Amino acid sequence: MEHKIIGFLLPHLNHWGYYVLLLVTFLETSAFLGFLVPGESMIVIAGLLASRGVLELGDVIWVASLGAIMGDTVGYLIGSRFGEGALLRYGKYFFLKKEHLDDAKRFFAKHGGKTVFFGRFMAWLRAFAPVVAGITGMHYPKFLLFNVAGGIAWAAIFSLLGYLVGNSWDIIKIYLGRLGIFAFIIGVIVVYIYFLFTKKRRLIREKASWIDRRLSGQMPKTWEFVKARFSASRWYGLNLTLGIVLFVIALLSFGEIIEDLIDRETLFYLDFRIQRLVERIITPQVTRFMVDITNVGGVYLALLVTCAIAFYLLYKRYWWELFSAFLVIGGGETILTLLKLLFHRPRPAEQLITAHGYSFPNGHAFSAVIVYGFLVYVTWKFIRSEAIRFIIFFASIFLTVFVGISRVYLNVHWLTDVLGGYTSGFAWLVFSIIMVNTTRQYYKHVPC
């Protein structure tokens, strides 16, 4: 059915395609219209048409982003101008009740920006969130920041999905539908649990106090030790516990990758399947984009970020954090070299760019994790602005993921090389932070 529609529209899309895309994404993210207009499907189709040369990929992304941002702005203005009364009057047609709005307002008071961003990827919340933001009086510059970030991410992800997969629209439709259903179910569960805890907070606290008294009476020393491990007020509590858990997970994941490669199990054969898939989607445009990502994001920007972190910590005289930076980044490069020499895995043949040295683990992925991961750590520790934290966190994830994708696309690394770089880099990042902070706390309490 989709192929017939596309075949009919192809002669006209060179002139009208961008206008149609702008209109659909605008209506899809305007108040309540997201229930009726298929925004993701249209962006994926636009990306598919870009892969055929009918549209330009860059133009598709910015036009879809503009339509999404404008649509959310209209929703915000409607909520701000007409208020709660209009929402309840017309929201009943979408099963919206006053208690739902009250819960949403409380949720927005704590997580407004995150709701605007993540709601972009869920049709119901995408149409509903901007209106509630306007009703609750969310500061417009803050709303605009998350609106722009979400709109660009949403447009880029779905247009690139259509572009890379090309003519395989049936596959996109199947998996996009499954992903949407899964994301919706998870989102409903998370929201339900949050509201359940909010409404039953008093009962939960009473139950938790009863359990605490019982365990304190039966096993006082053991229970006090367990509680101390989850205390957020000191380093040896929740911070250290969470750090150890993350380190163990990363280390075990790295070990599983190595085991699959040695025993030639699932991941070993997945490398070849991914390589064959990438060979079918190679185009000059995407190749240029991937080369820029691997050079800029994986080398030059990482070096610039490293220097910026070092100068910032030196200027602020955060000596322990500066020591952490040298251990994470400087020590990380040493660990990476040792790992490459240990495994000495050859690179794939027929590379799109020239690359030398051993393949496992991927150095670009390893460096991206430790550099951008440490940037997130420093930001979360010293920057109080939620907006800056949010931008740096998601920009770091975006760069790290795309650096890894670029190495696989350019056929200079296997998929398992990239996964090995991610897991080993993250393990070293967490281990270094744990060691430095534990040493710092030890010397803080040792008498001179």
CB atoms within 10 A of CB 31: 23
State in Å, rounded, how far the first CA of the chain is from the last one. 78
SS3 assignment for 71-113 = HHHHHHHHHHHHHHHHHHHHHHHHCCCHHHHHHHHHHHHHHHH
Instruction: Grade residue 367 by pLDDT with cuts at 50, 70 and 90.
Output: very high
CA angle at 243 for the pair 337 and 261, rounded to the nearest 5°: 45
**Residues 40-52 pLDDT 10s:** 667 777 777 777 6
Q: Which runs of consecutive H residues, i.e. helices, occur in 29-56?
A: 39-51
Q: Which residue did the predictor score with more confidence, 216 or 170?
A: 216
> Is the CB of residue 333 less than 8 Å from the CB of residue 390?
no
pLDDT of 427 over the 90 cut: yes
Q: Which residue did the predictor score with more confidence, 191 or 298?
A: 298
**Residues 70-116 pLDDT 10s:** 888 888 887 777 766 666 666 555 555 566 566 666 666 666 666 77
Distances, alpha carbon 120 to alpha carbons 150, 171, 370, 388, in Å: 6, 23, 29, 19
What sign does the dihedral 388-390-393-394 (CA atoms) show? Answer: negative
Give the pLDDT mean for 120-146: 73
Instruction: Grade residue 381 by pLDDT with cuts at 50, 70 and 90.
Output: confident
Instruction: Grade residue 1 by pLDDT with cuts at 50, 70 and 90.
Output: very low
Give the separation between CA 429 and CA 423, rounded to whole angstroms.
Answer: 10
What pTM, to 2 d.p., does this model score?
A: 0.62
Residues 6+ apart with CB under 8 A from 26: 67, 68, 70, 71, 74
Instruction: Grade residue 172 by pLDDT with cuts at 50, 70 and 90.
Output: very low
* pLDDT value for 430: 92
Least confident of 92-101, 105-114, 373-382, 395-404: 92-101
Give the separation between CA 329 and CA 341, rounded to whole angstroms.
Answer: 19
* pLDDT value for 131: 76
Per-residue DSSP letters for 263-295? HT-HHHHHHHHHHHHHHHH--HHHHHHHHHIII
What sign does the dihedral 102-107-112-116 (CA atoms) show? Answer: negative
pLDDT of 237 over the 70 cut: no
Cα-based torsion angle of the residue sequence 210, 212, 217, 223 in order, rounded to the nearest 10 degrees = 160
Give the separation between CA 34 and CA 406, rounded to whole angstroms.
Answer: 33
* pLDDT value for 418: 92
**Residues 308-357 pLDDT 10s:** 999 999 988 888 889 999 999 989 989 999 998 888 888 888 777 887 88
* pLDDT value for 39: 59
